[in-house]
Amino acid sequence: MRETTWNGEPLKNGDPPRGYLEAKGFWAWAYTLDHKRIGVMYLYTTLFFFLAGGVFALLIRIKLMFPGQHIFTNQTYNVLFTMHGALMIFLFVIPAIPSGLGNFFIPLQIGARDVAFPRINLMSYWVFVAGIVVILFSLVRPMDTGWTFYTPYSARTAADVTTLSFGIFLIGMSSILTGLNFLVTIHKLRAPGMTWHRMPLFIWSMYATSIIQVLATPVVGITFLLLAMERVLGVGFFDPAKGGDPILFQHFFWFYSHPVVYVMILPAMGIISEIVPAFSRKPIFGYKAIAYSSMAIAVFGFFVWGHHMFVTGMSGTAAILFSLLTYSVAIPTAIKVFNWIATMYRGSITFESPMLYALTFIFLFVIGGLTGMYLGALGADIHVHDTYFIVAHFHYTMVGGTVMGLLAGLHYWFPKMTGRMLSEKMGRPAWLLIFIGFNVTFFTQFILGFEGMPRRYAEYPAQYQALNILSTVGSWILATGILIMFANFVRGLFRGALAPPNPWKALSLEWETGSPPATENFEEIPTVTDWPYGYAGRQT
Amino acid sequence: MDPATAREAATLGIWTFLATEVLLFGGLFTSYIIYRIKYPQIFYEGHLKLDHVLGAINTVVLIGSSLTVALGIAAIRKGKVGLLRLYLFLTLLLAGTFLGIKYVEYTEKFSHGLYPDTDIFFSLYFMLTGLHGLHVLAGMVLLGAVLFLAGRGRYSESYHTPVEISGLYWHFVDLVWIYLFPLLYLLG
């Protein structure tokens, strides 16, 4: 069927205006300074590694279905779970929302024509790609360290940790440049009238995220540099034989890698704060509380890294302090959850795909967050540490949280980014399969962990097999859902119905421009007079 | 973006970047504190093997280069491009001197069998001064580019943001050394 209208007006030549997507060809993308195109390139790149990491996960699950049988070697298993963790964390979960959706929507939501430093933005993308190339190059010799690269093993293994460290250094640089760009953009380029308290909550969460990216990432940079130098020059920071301490590596590593879990989750929370009021047709409840809780999470997040190291022999005082601080992170997190629920209370809720994923986020993240409290409790942590309970916990936060937030955002903003609608007929079954598949895969792992099944091993005692089979079957349901979802994306891209400028009747600025937006975003920079959550409330 | 906003954005950007640099060196300074407390004897013996005269000369050289950069910025604020180029050239000369002296020091250490893997003190010494040296090199590239563009008439009384930003970076590089010198060469 050929479309005859676009944005409510009759089409002149038969084809809808393509907005920022007009220019075609490799160079039009590779050299682009348009934040929207750069965001799209990040999305394609990160989603590719989401699928790659997912394939590794499926292989891991197949091996775990058959203990004692030779599917592939234990060494191959170690390589697979290292690849799954490293690719998913560094090339997908960390960059996907900030660099992908953040790049696309920060300038649109604050009413700017681009980010503050478009050239640095493009450089950040290509540094990211360079990092990927270096990492892939390092994988010629199979990597078997696990994604945390703990010393002393990572300093000694035959795998090419040196090259990989350089790759991660580049990925980190890219992350810093993006965060820096966003900080300055949010400070300096807001449209006239957009005060701090009129900013969309996605912007608040991206602001908090950027602070963490800028302040935490350099530490992982120096850590991997020291690791590489230990292998090349024999410096002894982490080598007990030279007076160093392998535990210092863990401190440095988690000083980055704990705050960075908030780089993963805060942008997702921002997306939920956009979707929940739009699909409840009610003003967001507790705007300031949600905004400031993002900042609080960013600040607290820097002081809790020790909870990854409760069993490394740290002093009781330090452990109690880290435990207490870990608990304190739950407060701003709970504030958000309560405010989302209060927003929905007596709202006119509709259940299109974005809202389904947003609700899934809230449901799964509450489970992930609360089990995090078990792990912050010293006694409980010692019981379940290094078991599948941990694996289940962080998949509930990173998949149940970040990935669901990303999928919510992708479904919510797909019409804006592509100018076409997704099919709800495909979207809802895909969501249902993802929801069921995820819970079958990972809830079983909570039970396995509590029963004492250790993580990371290729083999396990036969008593755990039944639940492992269930978990593996769950991973197939999850994968089917994700495949249908991607099929929906591809279908929508080519054959989706043309999208109006504001399909969800939402109130933030990105919906006031065309779908897809023109290269310069707005014909005229809008003047902001109100917050973006003035929904009518319940119709009586 | 209007010029005033662009200037504010660039200034905020460079300060944020310098914050990331502080954190990058922060990892090394933290290690310094930890290992110094743990092994005071190694640190005492290590610092005796460093040439504090060359270190002191290098400190003067770098502070001098910070002065010339500051004078260069003052010059371009009055629109004196020729003077800016002279001061930038002097800065590069001083930076080159610093690296030259560093090279002499490193060679000296190597000839006495002192390498990054000798002990924890020399691990720290080479990592800290090495990373700092790389920053000096990066600063030279940056200031060299500014010098080149100044020759092309890019900067004036009304527009010289890149000069100021490169200057700030250079002051940071200088500042790191001002911490490194006493920590490595002087504290016994």
For range A263-272, the mean pLDDT = 97
Question: How many CB atoms are located within 10 Å of the residue A529 CB?
Answer: 9
Could you give the CA distance from residue A254 to residue A377 in angstroms, rounded to a whole number? Answer: 18
Q: Mutate which of A113, A175, A177, A180 to disrupt the B interface (most B C-beta within 10 Å)?
A: A180
Could you give the CA distance from residue A117 to residue B184 in angstroms, rounded to a whole number? Answer: 38
**CA A36 vs CA A100, A107, A121, A516, B77: distances in Å:** 9, 9, 11, 10, 37
Cα B127–chain centre separation: 14
Nearest CB partner across the interface for B17, out of A180, A216, A234: A180
Quote the DSSP letter at residue A313.
Answer: T
Taken in order A393, A395, A397, A401, is the CA torsion positive or negative? negative
Residue B67, chain A, CB below 8 Å: the answer is no
Give how far B91 is from chain A: nearest CA, Å. 26
Asked if the model's pLDDT at residue A466 lies above 90, the reply is yes
Q: Which residues pair with A6 in a beta bridge?
A: A9
Stretch (H or E) spanning A356:
helix A353-376
Residue A399: closest CA among A77, A50, A86: A50
Asked if the model's pLDDT at residue B74 lies above 70, the reply is yes
Asked if the model's pLDDT at residue A176 lies above 50, the reply is yes
pLDDT, one tens digit per residue, over B7-40 is 999 999 999 999 999 999 999 999 999 999 999 9
Do A215 and B18 contact (CB within 8 A), yes or no? no
User: Which residues in chain A have Cβ-Cβ distances shorter than 8 Å to B26?
Assistant: 218-219, 222
Stretch (H or E) spanning A9:
strand A9-10
Q: Are strands A5-6 and A9-10 parallel, antiparallel or unpaired?
A: antiparallel
Nearest CB partner across the interface for A219, out of B5, B26, B39: B26
Largest CA distance in chain B: 58
Do A311 and A247 contact (CB within 8 A), yes or no? no
- Contact state of B21 with A243 under an 8 Å Cβ cutoff: no
Burial class (CB in 10 A: 0-12, 13-18, 19+), B97: middle
Residue A111, chain B, CB below 8 Å: the answer is no
**CA A86 vs CA A56, A129, A284: distances in Å:** 11, 15, 36
Helix axes B120-151, B81-111, angle to 10 degrees: 160
Question: How many CB atoms are located within 10 Å of the residue A250 CB?
Answer: 21
For range A106-131, the mean pLDDT = 97
Residue B41, chain A, CB below 8 Å: the answer is no
Give how far B5 is from chain A: nearest CA, Å. 7
Q: Which residues pair with A518 in a beta bridge?
A: A521
Residue B3, chain A, CB below 8 Å: the answer is no
Could you give the CA distance from residue A428 to residue A438 in angstroms, rounded to a whole number? Answer: 15
A505-523 burial, b at 16+ Cβ within 10 Å, e below that, comes to ebbbbbbebbbbbebebbe
Tokens representing A402? 């970040």
**CA A182 vs CA A206, A412, B36, B108: distances in Å:** 8, 21, 38, 46
Q: Mutate which of B11, B16, B30, B126 to disrupt the A interface (most A C-beta within 10 Å)?
A: B16
Give how far A171 is from chain B: nearest CA, Å. 15
Q: Kindly report the length of chain A.
A: 540
DSSP annotation string for A125-177: HHHHHHHHHHHHHHTTSPP-S-TT--TTHHHH-SS-HHHHHHHHHHHHHHHHH
- Contact state of A218 with B26 under an 8 Å Cβ cutoff: yes
Cα A106–chain centre separation: 16
Give how far B149 is from chain A: nearest CA, Å. 18
Residue B1, chain A, CB below 8 Å: the answer is yes
- Contact state of B116 with A229 under an 8 Å Cβ cutoff: yes
Could you give the CA distance from residue A202 to residue A254 in angstroms, rounded to a whole number? Answer: 26
User: Which residues in chain B have Cβ-Cβ distances shorter than 8 Å to A244?
Assistant: 35, 120, 123
Q: How many CA atoms lie within 13 A of A22 on its CB side?
A: 11
Going from N- to C-terminal start, the domains of chain A cover: 35-512
pLDDT given for residue A1 in this prediction: 43
Question: How many CB atoms are located within 10 Å of the residue A28 CB?
Answer: 13
For range B145-151, the mean pLDDT = 97
User: Which residues in chain A have Cβ-Cβ distances shorter than 8 Å to B27?
Assistant: 218-219, 222-223, 226, 252
User: Which residues in chain B have Cβ-Cβ distances shorter than 8 Å to A166?
Assistant: none
Could you give the CA distance from residue A139 to residue A147 in angstroms, rounded to a whole number? Answer: 13
Residue B45, chain A, CB below 8 Å: the answer is no
CA dihedral A362, A367, A372, A378 (to 10 degrees): 150
User: Which residues in chain A have Cβ-Cβ distances shorter than 8 Å to B5?
Assistant: 188-189
Residue A46: closest CA among A91, A3, A90: A91
Residue B33, chain A, CB below 8 Å: the answer is no
> Average per-residue pLDDT in chain A?
94
Q: Mutate which of A120, A174, A209, A235 to disrupt the B interface (most B C-beta within 10 Å)?
A: A235
User: Which residues in chain A have Cβ-Cβ distances shorter than 8 Å to B127?
Assistant: 226, 229, 235, 237
Quote the DSSP letter at residue A302.
Answer: G
Do A276 and A410 contact (CB within 8 A), yes or no? no
Could you give the CA distance from residue A200 to residue A177 in angstroms, rounded to a whole number? Answer: 23
Stretch (H or E) spanning A386:
none
User: Which residues in chain B have Cβ-Cβ distances shorter than 8 Å to A188?
Assistant: 5, 8-9, 12
- Contact state of B120 with A183 under an 8 Å Cβ cutoff: no
pLDDT given for residue B188 in this prediction: 77
Q: What ipTM was assigned to the predicted interfaces of this complex?
A: 0.94
Residue of chain B whose Cα is closest to the Cα of A221: B24
**CA A51 vs CA A54, A58, A223, A405: distances in Å:** 5, 10, 29, 17
Residue B157, chain A, CB below 8 Å: the answer is no
pLDDT given for residue A540 in this prediction: 45
Residue A52, chain B, CB below 8 Å: the answer is no
Stretch (H or E) spanning A382:
helix A378-384
Q: What is the assigned CATH class of domain A35-512?
A: mainly alpha
Residue A178, chain B, CB below 8 Å: the answer is no
pLDDT, one tens digit per residue, over A9-50 is 566 555 677 899 999 999 999 999 999 999 999 999 999 999
pLDDT, one tens digit per residue, over A127-167 is 999 999 999 999 989 999 999 999 999 999 999 999 999 99
Do A189 and B5 contact (CB within 8 A), yes or no? yes
Percent of chain B with pLDDT strictly greater than 90: 97
Asked if the model's pLDDT at residue A90 lies above 60, the reply is yes
pLDDT, one tens digit per residue, over A279-311 is 999 999 999 999 999 999 999 999 999 999 999
Phi, psi values for residue A315, rounded to 5°:
-65, 155
- Contact state of B39 with A226 under an 8 Å Cβ cutoff: no
Residue A266: closest CA among A91, A409, A85: A409
Could you give the CA distance from residue A177 to residue A118 in angstroms, rounded to a whole number? Answer: 11
Residue B29, chain A, CB below 8 Å: the answer is no
Could you give the CA distance from residue A426 to residue A374 in angstroms, rounded to a whole number? Answer: 37
For range A179-205, the mean pLDDT = 97
**Residue A71: which pLDDT band, with cuts at 50, 70 and 90?**
confident
- Contact state of B27 with A180 under an 8 Å Cβ cutoff: no
What's the N-to-C CA distance of chain B in angstroms? 53
Residue A33, chain B, CB below 8 Å: the answer is no
For range A243-255, the mean pLDDT = 95
Residue B38, chain A, CB below 8 Å: the answer is yes
What's the N-to-C CA distance of chain A in angstroms? 39
Percent of chain A with pLDDT strictly greater than 90: 94
- Contact state of B26 with A223 under an 8 Å Cβ cutoff: no
User: Which residues in chain A have Cβ-Cβ distances shorter than 8 Å to B16?
Assistant: 180, 183-184, 214
Give how far B13 is from chain A: nearest CA, Å. 6
pLDDT given for residue A18 in this prediction: 86
User: Which residues in chain B have Cβ-Cβ distances shorter than 8 Å to A242?
Assistant: 117, 119-120, 123
Stretch (H or E) spanning A5:
strand A5-6
Residue B89: closest CA among B133, B149, B141, B147: B147
Give how far A271 is from chain B: nearest CA, Å. 26
Residue A214, chain B, CB below 8 Å: the answer is yes
Stretch (H or E) spanning A282:
none
Question: How many CB atoms are located within 10 Å of the residue A119 CB?
Answer: 10
> Average per-residue pLDDT in chain B?
96
Structural domains of chain B in order of their starting residue, each with its CATH number: 3-186 (1.20.120.80)
For Cα atoms A216, A222, A225, give the angle at the middle one, nearest 5 degrees.
145
pLDDT given for residue A70 in this prediction: 85
Asked if the model's pLDDT at residue A7 lies above 80, the reply is no
